[in-house]
Homo-oligomer: A and B are copies of this chain.
Amino acid sequence: MALKINKNYKKIKKNYIFTEISEKKSNFLKSHKNAKIIDLGVGDVTRPLNKNMVAVINNALNEQLHKKTFKGYPPENGYDFLKKQIVNYYKQRNVSLTIEEVFVSNGACCDVTNILDLFKKNKTIIANPTYPAYYDSNFLQGNAIFLRDANQKNNFVLSPKNLKKRSYIIYLCSPNNPTGTVFTKQQLKEWVDFANLTSSIIIFDCAYESFISDVNLPHFIYEIEGAKKCAIEIASFSKMAGFTNLRCSWSIVPEELNINGYNINSMWSRRQCTKFNGVPYCVQKGAEYALSKNGQLECKKNIQYYKTNLKILTKCLKSLKIECFNSMHTPYVWFKCPQNYTSWQFFDLLLQDYQIVGIPGLGFGTQGEGFFRFSAFASRKDILIACERLKNFAIKKD
């Protein structure tokens, strides 16, 4: 009998959007050799790491030079020093955790996808539009995906209203990539109540929580009563501390989270101890520093830099009468393509006439059609050049 392959790998759409973007970009450069393209597409940090943090990492690495301080395998779920620091970080928002509830990992992307190992085929709720990894990993697993609109009609807010009362795996992302929406406590409470009522599990992705400016908005789902009974939370040092290259993230799996008599905390621990071997000591020392008092202040400076970029970009777009939906709680501005352009038409226009690259909303789902995402993860200089170029858009339009 032949080997049984996971055929979903053949059925899944290629991730055309990013391939197509980079092909269009390189084709353009072939015919415009001296063009200086401003890339506001990719959601990746660009600010250098803080030197105090790098010194901490270098020192930790140097411990590997000496017999007495040399370290072998890291603990699969993270060193206690970092888990304690994360517990303290949650205390700032009055959330109590035990260190057994904290799992250090090498990327939010890994955890939001690998968590599916704990389940068999289920029904999954995913927002449309949304970050593609939720969809792709659930598709590969063979789950029945229920895409639920979070579009202009409902202010891009995903809600459980009128949802059939059965058990789902529910992906929530707040602040949302790409739309910038942040759940209020009330909106998030509706999801927690729904999940507890239906024995669903929420995978709460808060990778952008450090960008939230309004103290009244929840950073963590555990700020909502009842969340520990239904939700896993996945967070990251990537955007907060510029760690996209260094790879460090964490997940919170509450000890009291039981689904049909299965304790998800001990299952996740078993999964990680079997299939994952931890994050380097020096990286975890850097992460510990990022959450220290000084570290947080330094990280905030970079976040502020990106936010100022975002303000400049948003102001420029608004001056062109472009409708913007960003709420300043992410590094992205989500806006409606002007003049009823489709998102790919607008992409081509921006590339050809302004040498600016962004992400067509369609790349995040069908409900992203007609919308566009700019990233503020760029240098101030590039942001200003982009704005200068875009001014001509108004002139051409008139």
Binding site for B on A (CB under 8 A): 1-7, 9-10, 12, 15, 42, 44-49, 51, 54, 57-58, 61-62, 64-67, 70-74, 106-107, 109-110, 113-114, 117-122, 133, 136-137, 140, 166-169, 199-201, 242, 244-247, 259-260, 262, 267, 270-271, 273-283, 379
> For A107, what are the chain B residues with a Cβ–Cβ distance below 8 Å?
276-277
A219–B259 alpha-carbon span in the complex (Å): 46
Query: What are 23 A-B residue pairs whose CB atoms fall within 8 Å in the complex?
Result: A3-B167, A3-B168, A3-B201, A4-B121, A5-B259, A5-B262, A9-B262, A12-B270, A46-B67, A48-B67, A49-B64, A49-B65, A49-B70, A54-B62, A58-B58, A64-B242, A67-B379, A71-B245, A74-B245, A110-B277, A113-B275, A140-B271, A247-B280
Taking a contact as CB atoms under 8 Å apart, the answer to whether A122 and B275 are in contact is no
Instruction: Tell which of B3, B5, B65 touches A200, judged by Cβ atoms closer than 8 Å.
Output: B3
> For A122, what are the chain B residues with a Cβ–Cβ distance below 8 Å?
3-4
* A contacts with B: majority SS: loop
Instruction: Tell which of B6, B120, B247, B274 touches A118, judged by Cβ atoms closer than 8 Å.
Output: B6
Q: Which residue of B lies closest to A112 (CB)?
A: B275
> For A199, what are the chain B residues with a Cβ–Cβ distance below 8 Å?
2-3
A367 to chain B, nearest CB (A): 21
A262–B245 alpha-carbon span in the complex (Å): 32
Taking a contact as CB atoms under 8 Å apart, the answer to whether B71 and A51 are in contact is no
A276–B277 alpha-carbon span in the complex (Å): 14
Q: Which residue of B lies closest to A169 (CB)?
A: B3
Taking a contact as CB atoms under 8 Å apart, the answer to whether A65 and B44 are in contact is no
A167 to chain B, nearest CB (A): 4
* A46-B72, A277-B106 known; A5-B118 Cβ under 8 A: yes
